[in-house]
Chain A
Amino acid sequence: MRINLEKRTGPTGAVLLVLLSASAAHAYIDPGSGSMLLQLLLGGVAGLVVLAKLYWQRLLRVLGIGGRDTEREIDSDRSRH
């Protein structure tokens, strides 16, 4: 099932994404965490929006409020508190 993400915004969409998308990484080369994140800055205004969401989610996690844990996260932040 393919989801058209061109107009995707909002928390519902993000929840759907997490529940429905496959968790397995498909690339056989190492994309580099930094390089993946940099793509947000290179993606124009839309990228900045996603970047803001990313940090908002991180902030929520750090504060221990709600937020969505992705399926394969190694939660080192929580272990430090």
Chain B
Amino acid sequence: MTRASVDVEPGSFRDRTSRVFYADGSVLRGLDSRALAEWEALAATRFFPRLVREGKIIGTERLGAPGPPAPDGITPWTGVLRHARIPFVSFPYEWCFGMLKDAALLTLELLDVGLGEGMILKDATPFNVQWAGARPVFIDVASFERLRPGEPWAGYRQFCEMFLYPLLLQAYRNVAFQPWLRGRIDGIDAMQCWNLMSARDLLRRGVLAHVYLQAKAQSRFADTTHDVRGDLRAAGFHAALIKANIGRLTRLVRRLGWRQLSSAWSEYTVGTAYADREREEKAAFVERALGARPWRLVWDLGCNTGVFSRIAAQHAELVVAMDGDHLVIERLYRDLRREGAQRILPLVSNVADPSPRLGWRGMERGNLADRGRPDLTLCLALMHHLAISANVPVREIVEWLWSLGGALVIEFVTKADPMVRRLLQNKRDDYADYDRGCFEECLKDRFDVVQVAELAGGTRILYFATPRGSA
């Protein structure tokens, strides 16, 4: 058996009964005999094929042949499934409020529908949800299992820790959840959530039941030696109780809204007389650069309203539109969802502090480049923020962009520009390297410049460049 042709997914190890791996360009899932029995029950339901057709569950088929051997070389898989590919994997700490909310609603919908045919999800985590454009897709098919008689919903606690509390924190306290989920891979626990709320919040929907009571119940019963599951079974716990709770949670989550009117970048518009003409010229330049050839994956850094992502989407299979401001991404997400856009994935990401590798052995959750290097990067109206606000040297910015491996469309904004003057306002101008000549030198060290254009106002220059050598 050649290990080289089979790559195990580093983030898929917690459930012992199945494992995701990659072989020959396919996404495969190995199942042991227990997991295979559950899969067969799932495949026989009415809801499963319907939800796959509707795009809510990832396309899955059983491989007839034995398939590649298990990566550990010891246990042969009893069955192997093949899944459709998600074009770009993302994680909940990169999603905006609306995305986490829709992922939660999808999970609840699957639970509700599954219960109707005797099935339940083993867990309830946003890592089981991915995106096809602006539409959530459930990917962890092996999470479905037949509900045993008298069993409570084992995933309720996890649902609260990973979906509900982050949403409540943002909806009720206006605290962004992304740093919390990035900082602790298992989410926010009940007592922490309660500690972040005040007595007044007890009057708000969902807090008394799911936060306060759960925190108290968990600490009260933490050291119990009773077999609580057994007790519940003996007392006649049944599926209708789970269904009732899921109904409550669905109504609660549906009504959660994040009301923030503006943020640092949400109202950004350039207000000069040249603005319209510059915008048109810029759009035309980007259109020309993109039209050069078809692109597989484009990263739009600092995408703001997504105007250039939309241009890129006409020439690329997928555009990952990133911005560090999560209100901006929230608005973009809502627009994309309304449009039914398929080729743009909006993500919250600060270029100067992007998602690191997290989890077990620092490999469980990869960084952005691990998940898909772009073949074209758009870096428009962003460089001056990196160089002046984030103090990153110009040469390092260019080096990093080169290390991504793709072609580049970049905008250099001179110090004469009002925006740059504003950034320099309260700072000492130590930025000798922030100068057109120096920038072009750094650029030409690593890239071949294909096209250059100066915009009408005279303070902004656009470059389209291809990388030399490989990173």
* From B226, B231, B235, B240, contact of A6 by CB (8 A): B240
* From B209, B214, B231, contact of A54 by CB (8 A): B231
The reply to whether B145 and A26 contact each other, CB–CB distance below 8 Å, is yes
The reply to whether B148 and A57 contact each other, CB–CB distance below 8 Å, is no
Q: How large is the interface on A (under 10, 10 to 19, 20 to 34, 35 or more residues)?
A: 35 or more
Nearest chain-A residue to B247 (Cβ)? Answer: A44
The reply to whether B214 and A29 contact each other, CB–CB distance below 8 Å, is no
Near A by CB (< 8 A), chain B positions 215-239 give 216-222, 224-239
Task: Please measure, in the bound complex, the distance between the C-alpha atom of A6 and the C-alpha atom of B147, giving whole angstroms.
Answer: 13
The reply to whether B150 and A37 contact each other, CB–CB distance below 8 Å, is no
The reply to whether A13 and B236 contact each other, CB–CB distance below 8 Å, is yes
The reply to whether A74 and B227 contact each other, CB–CB distance below 8 Å, is yes
Nearest chain-B residue to A15 (Cβ)? Answer: B234
The reply to whether A14 and B235 contact each other, CB–CB distance below 8 Å, is yes
Of B104-112, B152-160, B397-405, which stretch is located at the interface? B152-160
Nearest chain-B residue to A2 (Cβ)? Answer: B118
The reply to whether A58 and B217 contact each other, CB–CB distance below 8 Å, is no
The reply to whether B122 and A28 contact each other, CB–CB distance below 8 Å, is yes
Q: How far is the CB of A66 from chain B (nearest CB, A)?
A: 13
The reply to whether A37 and B221 contact each other, CB–CB distance below 8 Å, is yes
B352 within 8 A of A: no
B375 within 8 A of A: no
Q: How far is the CB of A58 from chain B (nearest CB, A)?
A: 7
B123 within 8 A of A: yes
A residues near B213, Cβ cutoff 8 Å: 38, 41
B14 within 8 A of A: yes
B248 within 8 A of A: yes
* From A5, A36, A42, contact of B229 by CB (8 A): A36
Residue from B157, B160, B221 whose CB has the most chain A CB atoms within 10 Å:
B157
A residues near B242, Cβ cutoff 8 Å: 39, 43
B residues near A51, Cβ cutoff 8 Å: 235
B residues near A49, Cβ cutoff 8 Å: 236
B151 within 8 A of A: yes
* From B218, B220, B227, B241, contact of A50 by CB (8 A): B241
Q: How far is the CB of A2 from chain B (nearest CB, A)?
A: 6
B residues near A31, Cβ cutoff 8 Å: 152-157
Nearest chain-A residue to B124 (Cβ)? Answer: A29
B244 within 8 A of A: yes
The reply to whether A70 and B233 contact each other, CB–CB distance below 8 Å, is yes
B16 within 8 A of A: yes
Task: Please measure, in the bound complex, the distance between the C-alpha atom of A30 and the C-alpha atom of B224, giving whole angstroms.
Answer: 14
Given A21-B148, A26-B145, A70-B227, 7 more A-B residue pairs with CB atoms under 8 Å apart are A18-B233, A27-B154, A28-B15, A32-B218, A42-B244, A49-B236, A73-B231
The chain A residues found within 8 Å of chain B, CB to CB, are: 2-3, 5-6, 8-9, 13-14, 17-18, 20-23, 25-44, 46-47, 49-51, 53-54, 57-58, 68, 70-74, 76
A-B pairs with beta carbons under 8 Å apart, 22 shown = A2-B149, A6-B239, A17-B233, A18-B230, A18-B233, A25-B229, A27-B155, A28-B17, A29-B122, A29-B158, A33-B221, A35-B218, A38-B217, A39-B241, A39-B242, A40-B232, A41-B213, A43-B240, A46-B244, A50-B241, A57-B231, A74-B225
Q: Closest 9 CB pairs between A and B?
A: A70-B230, A43-B241, A34-B217, A27-B154, A5-B238, A34-B218, A35-B157, A31-B154, A33-B221
